Structure 1
């Protein structure tokens, strides 16, 4: 273990870890970024563009070819991930999604008997990709009385995804059965998840992993202990063989809304001056577009509608 890493060097190291060049393609970038936050289709495209994958047709093709899917994973939020990884990730996050949504499901009339009947029927409705409205209509035709209005359909889909029955298979969205996939690497799913996080965001500590994953600090410490990471400074680890970036010009990116780079750490103050924090993190989980140079947020920008508008404060 080396000594303390200065703030500027840590920011630059993290920036280069996250935006380092690597295999091209939507699935490859999604794995390298440890998942792309996907509640907004345009935000997914911006995250990919910041990492060298441009064009909305590439996302559509990756979905259509079965290379990627999306489901409710880290922090209970919709993420785009490689299809080969969604099953083991669901094994990690599914129980938390189920538990976290229990009260709201009851309020929406989604009691346990109804949910079990729905899970029994859904596989036959997923023989071809289906929309949420189509799935609800099919359930109702088979006697599973899901209210088609309001939030019940959304919560039912999230529940079925958490139980390993389905996932989202397109941007529109449509749903498909949860694909088979590979097993986690040595050390188990939590250890592999910690390696994903360190590989995308490192140097990081268990506290960062706990914030990013939503799994809590006890699980994070257990994951880090099993992951085989290398500590490069007190409380900060990377994948074996990873090192600081070489000297060179500043690395700058225009990040779209909800970019995962701004969601991987316990404390954003290292990368985002508190004087400007509300201009990027507006509250309510909203993350606005940001200009980032060597890991420091130096401005904001407005995508689309003509030439990109950039406003810098540093």
Structure 2
């Protein structure tokens, strides 16, 4: 089984199928998005043709949204998916955040959370988009302590209960808006219907993958992850390989040319982050060069499906410069390929 080739195709890194960000994010299910500028590149590089303005327009118009969902971290999701995904994951994310808060003396009472919800609904009403700092100023005027840690807690909880989602950016600053005003009402899904959608999205875009990969990515308990796989069983091909059961969705492409492909993957990219075990595309001895034990992921160079080095933007003045380093000194990569990949990133950023 050629795992890198099939993943490159279905993560839309080879021969992409989509032209607009909403279609791509919907196909992927969700895309991890701690680094806001990098996730824009993660979307753009998976489209047939795009500039950063293409992605920013979709974010501005609310076609794709950035919020905490599935796990206690930022993700991009398509607007029509946000409610059922929150319903599926909110209880777990809230529990994880509350557990962290108790261990760090950051507890907030349910009464104070309820007060914050009412205030958010009041100050954001009328399709307003406010930065976290602007919201904190409103909170402070009403005597609510609104330091950085507490604002993180207030806003993440408000996301989980469906009060807020990402709004229209103000310059380079992210904002929040009311979910009810940002996203039209959608039919409610049953839990099984939500599991079907999540399982289908994951295995069509991330295959080949095993159960533990899906559990890691989705944040689902193992029993619910198994249920999702069971519910879409007729859409999946299961293959035993290396002592594990691998799943490929019927909509997956399996044939494509990997030779000569080179990508500058952003930090926190789904190609690495979407799996529990990354050894099929990155030898374990190089893990520390691609990500840290506490969850920081670096921009990496992907050559023919294998992660072989790091890249970063140099000091930016009038033009963008891109520097790279290889994990192994004897690495050889066609300079034309490397220059093309760097130029593609520059063109995306410059618009």
Q: TM-score, normalised by structure 1?
A: 0.88
Q: Does 1:25 align with 2:23?
A: no
Report deviation, 1:98: 1.2
CA displacement at 1:40 relative to structure 2: 1.4
In structure 1, the residue matched to 2:237 is: 231
Provide the C-alpha distance between the structure 1 equivalents of 2:144 and 2:288, rounded to a whole number of angstroms: 40
The aligned counterpart of 1:308 is 322
Once residues 251 and 131 of structure 1 are traced to their aligned partners in structure 2, the CA distance between those partners, rounded to angstroms, is 40
Shift of 1:57: 2.2
Structure 1 residues 42-90: Cα deviation after superposition (integer angstroms, max 9, x where no partner): 2112212321354332233212212111110132211111111111111
CA contact (8 A) 2:259 2:304 kept: no
Match of 1:254, SS?
Answer: strand
Equivalent residue, structure 2, for 1:95: 91
1:166 counterpart (133, 139, 164): 164
Q: C-alpha displacement at 1:247, in angstroms?
A: 4.9
Q: Deviations over 1:219-275 (max 9, x none)?
A: 211111112431241222222243412456343321011112111112011111122
Residue 201 (structure 2) pairs with residue 196 (structure 1): yes
For structure 2, the 5+ residue unaligned runs are: 332-351
Which residue number in structure 2 is paired with residue 283 of structure 1? 293
3-state DSSP of counterpart to 1:97: helix
Give the deviation of 1:310 after TM superposition. Answer: 2.9
The structure-2 alpha-carbon separation of the partners of 1:185 and 1:43, relative to structure 1 and needing over 3 Å to count, comes to farther
Cα displacement (A) at 1:191: 1.6
Q: How does 1:104-143 map to 2 (within 5 A)?
A: 104-105=100-101, 107-127=105-125, 128-141=128-141, 143=142
Cα offset, 1:104, TM superposition = 4.5
Deviates more, 1:264-273 or 1:22-31: 22-31
Q: 1:185 offset after TM fit, Å?
A: 9.1
**In 2, Cα distance between equivalents of 1:294 and 1:182:** 41
Are the counterparts in 2 of residues 43 and 257 from structure 1 also a CA contact under 8 Å? Answer: yes
Paired residue for 2:282?
272
Instruction: Please give the alpha-carbon distance, in whole angstroms, between the structure 1 residues aligned to 2:270 and 2:9.
Output: 14
Match of 2:35 among 16, 40, 44: 40
Q: Using the TM superposition, give the Cα deviation of residue 187 of structure 1 relative to its aligned residue in structure 2, in angstroms.
A: 4.3
Matches within 5 A, 1:242-257: 242-247=252-257, 249-257=259-267
Per mean C-alpha deviation after superposition, the further-off stretch among 75-84 and 52-61 is: 52-61
Contact 1:69 1:82 in 2 (8 A): yes
